[in-house]
Structure 1
Amino acid sequence: MKLSVLDQSPILADMDPEKALQQTTELAAYVDKLGFHRLWVSEHHSTNSLAGSAPEILATHLAANTERIRIGTGGVLLPHYSAYKVAESFRVLETLYPNRIDLGVGRAPGGMPNVNLALNRGKLPKVEDYPKQVEQLMSYLHGEDPANMDIYATPKGASSPDVWMLGSSGTSARLAADLGTSYSFAHFINGHGGMGAMDRYRNHFTSSIQQSEPKGNVSVFAVCADTQEQAEYLASSLDLALLLIEQGGVRHHFPTPEEAMDYSYSFFQQERIKENRKRMIIGDQKTVKEEIESLADGYGVDEVIVNTIVHPFEERLRSYELIADAFNLT
């Protein structure tokens, strides 16, 4: 089974965005050496707790600072942009780093509602155009002229980046199937219905210019530590962070475990934490390995993407190290 990494460049307590991006760079080099298959970075706007707002730029930097691991976006929020421009950006990336680039795309706003207006010159993006955008994107990436305008995405090359459609519902799964892209289900966003969505993708898959067979993976929050108790302690900060996100709380950083332990939780909040734990895998090496394997079996995939957000950064590295060791990655 392949293991991969999603990193959202979290801004931890007592840390600035510059340090967050430095840590993502250090993490990329580290998991490259550990043997993880790919690393994706995300797109979030106008947030004080995540530093990754331009994944195509960050991916370029990470590819330059790694040797083997596939690098990609999880993902570019396509309704905000021109399919042609995105294709050219990733054709440049593919030319610089052949057969190492993934282009994950999504249709979420990437922030609060006003982000839509700021990114689209005061207008709302036409989300209904998203399927056509993805179709055009794939055509441009493979040297075609989908709009019949006698234009092509350059630089041309022998290989093209893989397009992955990111989603957390059956709707995105069916769209990925209809367009013939690879499909990644965000279990860390929605802990319900993912296995059915992946089945829907496989059952309705149509071959495309990119691929003839369905290819999927699943991403999940995971915290691995030397003991179950330590893992629970570290994960408490993620519990609090997700709770504050759901309540619309303004976050200037990801909380520490100490902050989480000192927080006074209501009965409703405790129940929400239990529900959010369905999006996480938490424990020692044995527990995490078994639950990752179980998740992969349930989804019918051979790749799981791990998203670890803990404080301090050294524990993030340690979590990935323990997971790599548990699966004998090389």
Structure 2
Amino acid sequence: MVIKFGILDQSIVFPGQTPGEALANTVKLAKLAESLGYERFWVSEHHDSAQMAGSSPEVLISYLLARTEKIRIGSGGVMLQHYSPYKVAENFNVLASLAPGRVELGIGRAPGGLPRSTKALQKGQAESWTLGEKLSELEQFLHGPAGEEHPLAGLQANPLTELPAAIHLLGTSVSSAELAAERGYPYAFALFINNDPETALRAFDAYRSKFNYETGSQPKTILALAVIAADTHEEAVELAGEHKNIRVTLGSGKTINVGTLAQAEEFARQAGETFTYEIREADITKGTKETVRARLLELKETYGADEFIFTTIVKDFEKRIHSFRLLKEAFAELPVQEVV
């Protein structure tokens, strides 16, 4: 079995760019991914950030589906905690009806923004649901009407489709892996956000050991990581720059991951809480295509990942494209028995 690759694009607005240019590059990347034979192309959800143009993955997915023909397009992910499962199901049932078998619904657990955007997104919500409860309702509405036990029995998230969007759960912790296992969903661990290898190992082990086969599904693991391939190691290092991962623990015990100390301070200020933090060097797989290939094979062996999905944060768009081309070249040159 050949390793399957995907791309996660965050529609980053780099200095000197407009949001429109950033989104146009996302479209170009999706078309490139399809032409190179990547398995999937996911877009992220971020709020209240001038550096991220992708605030509405559902809208962006619809446009990407129209501009491509075969590749799977999905969310990485929809932050379900903010939304009505019924409305999310309607959105993705429309998408799945337009492009049967090509739509993936990745669900994230992070807020996708600062506390003020969370307040804005959840304004007027009267009910307090767990993510598990929301997932149950979402799954029900993706596949059919609400049952007799539901307070809105018979309600449908039209249009219903024979091939509804495939739910994936995204996370950075053991608890997210356990939830994915319980529900029988594919699970993606974001190593580019939480680069603690012990947590990643425990998450994948928990997912496999606790997987609920009674759902009729089989476990599938995806490792999401930052990758930069270039013609020389020196160029890849230069393109990678100096990125940090900062894990913030608020006074309430809640943990979040941000990219700068300023973001950590602003998050805590808006939350009205004290905080502590831990700074780590960002884990970026970088180098020539041979060096990157060797590390990816090592990571596959270490974590037992079934698939990879890459995010490549490089300002120079042509060099970003070149990196994705080099990744495909690296594995096309490898004997099949070495990538099973």
Q: TM-score range by the shorter chain?
A: 0.7 to 0.9
Contact 1:98 1:159 in 2 (8 A): yes
Amino acid at match of 2:48: S
1:245 matched to 2:251? The reply is no
Amino acid at match of 1:246: T
Distance 1:217 1:304, change over 3 A: same
Amino acid at match of 1:231: A
Residue 141 (structure 1) shift: 1.1
Amino acid at match of 1:326: A
CA deviation profile, 1:120-159 (whole Å, cap 9, x unmatched): 1166984x52111011111211224252511122112221
User: Superposed, which structure 2 residues align to 1:68-107 within 5 Å?
Assistant: 68-107=70-109
Partner SS for 1:248: helix
Calculate the TM-score normalised by the size of structure 2.
Answer: 0.84
Q: Quick one: higher RCO (CA 8 Å, sep 6+), 1 or 2?
A: 1
1:163 is matched with: 167
1:145 is matched with: 146
1:16 is matched with: 18
Residue 37 (structure 1) shift: 0.4
> Which residue of the other structure, out of 296, 302, 313, is the alignment partner of 1:298?
302
CA deviation profile, 1:168-216 (whole Å, cap 9, x unmatched): 000101111112211111111001111210110111011365x421112
User: Superposed, which structure 2 residues align to 1:1-330 within 5 Å?
Assistant: 1-121=3-123, 126=128, 129-146=130-147, 147=150, 149-192=153-196, 193-207=199-213, 211-236=216-241, 239-240=242-243, 245-248=259-262, 272=279, 275-277=280-282, 279-328=283-332
Partner SS for 1:5: strand
More helix by share: 1
CA deviation profile, 1:3-43 (whole Å, cap 9, x unmatched): 11000001112101010000000111011101100010000
Residue 294 (structure 1) shift: 1.5
CA distance in 1, matches of 2:95, 2:20: 23
CA distance in 2, matches of 1:317, 1:233: 16
Amino acid at match of 2:315: H
Residue 49 (structure 1) shift: 0.9
Distance 1:316 1:136, change over 3 A: same
Distance 1:178 1:226, change over 3 A: same
1:259 is matched with: none
Amino acid at match of 2:237: E
CA distance in 2, matches of 1:12, 1:242: 19
Calculate the TM-score normalised by the size of structure 1.
Answer: 0.87
Distance 1:92 1:27, change over 3 A: same
Distance 1:27 1:208, change over 3 A: farther
Contact 1:105 1:165 in 2 (8 A): yes
Distance 1:23 1:124, change over 3 A: farther
Contact 2:81 2:109 in 1 (8 A): yes
